[in-house]
Amino acid sequence: GLPAYTPTLEENLFEPLSAATIKSMREGDGGELSGSPSKMQAVHSSSTLGVNIFQYWQSINQPEKIAEACRFCNQPTAISQSIRFEAKYPIDDRFRMGPNIDVVIENDPSAKHKVYAIECKFTEAYGGRGHGGIKEKYLGLDLWKDIPHLHKLAILTSPNDIEYQYLHAAQLTKHILGLKRAYGKTGFRLLYLWYDALGYAGGIHREEIERFIEIAKADGIYIHSISYQELIFWMSANFREDHQEYVDYISNRYL
């Protein structure tokens, strides 16, 4: 639990931030690059972990490879075109802030799923403090009309969530609302990408993820989960020959 920060941001990254990534991070609401040291200099930063996993595939112009690894598709396809960080998806114009989704793989406009969205969690899931529920102002929106199971969950966990100890269900639900407003209920896919942990906390977290996914799927929402360990093991088995430096870095650091 002690603060642990690298002396420079570059020492916490597989490769330096691209100009596009810097722009996205600065425009996001998380303040990831502000302060000294910045949040992204923390060795436990979920944003840095996300960048270390995903930016490489944007820099070599192969977003379809990481889309395959994340199980959005069974094999690489030409529909995945770019990767963006801290993408904003407002839920309602009356609200000052909207969800910031950690990573978005943007697809061809003609594709059924316009984006593959990824919510990334590292150690923060295990803080043990619980999470707040959705605020009451969200509960009367028209966006709930065809997702009654998620609406029921939102009501049950508002304003305080006592159903989920480690999963931030309200945050995931707001991501779904923002994406639904932008692309319709079936125009996106959502991945919960999380870092697994041994013991009680990891087991409860996994059970909470599965429970939430079942609720969302009952409303016809395309959502699935993968642990970082599963993702990295898969890439190590399938990508190491052509991307050895990258695979070695993420394997040695995060496994």
How many angstroms separate the first and last alpha carbons of the chain?
A: 19
Res. 226: pLDDT tops 70: yes
pLDDT, tens digit (0-9, with 9 covering 90-100), for 169-195: 999 999 999 999 999 999 999 999 999
What is the rounded CA–CA span in Å between residue 83 and residue 76?
Answer: 15
> How many CB atoms sit inside 10 A of residue 228's CB?
21
Res. 128: pLDDT tops 90: no
pLDDT, tens digit (0-9, with 9 covering 90-100), for 8-45: 999 999 999 999 999 999 999 999 999 999 999 999 99
Q: If pLDDT is split at 50, 70 and 90, which confidence band does 97 have?
A: confident
What is the rounded CA–CA span in Å between residue 184 and residue 209?
Answer: 23
Contact call for residues 44 and 127 (beta carbons, < 8 A): no
Q: 94 Cβ partners below 8 Å, 6+ apart? A: none
Tokens 């929402």, located at residue:
221
Res. 1: pLDDT tops 80: no
Res. 6: pLDDT tops 90: yes
pTM of the model: 0.95
Q: What is the pLDDT of residue 131?
A: 83
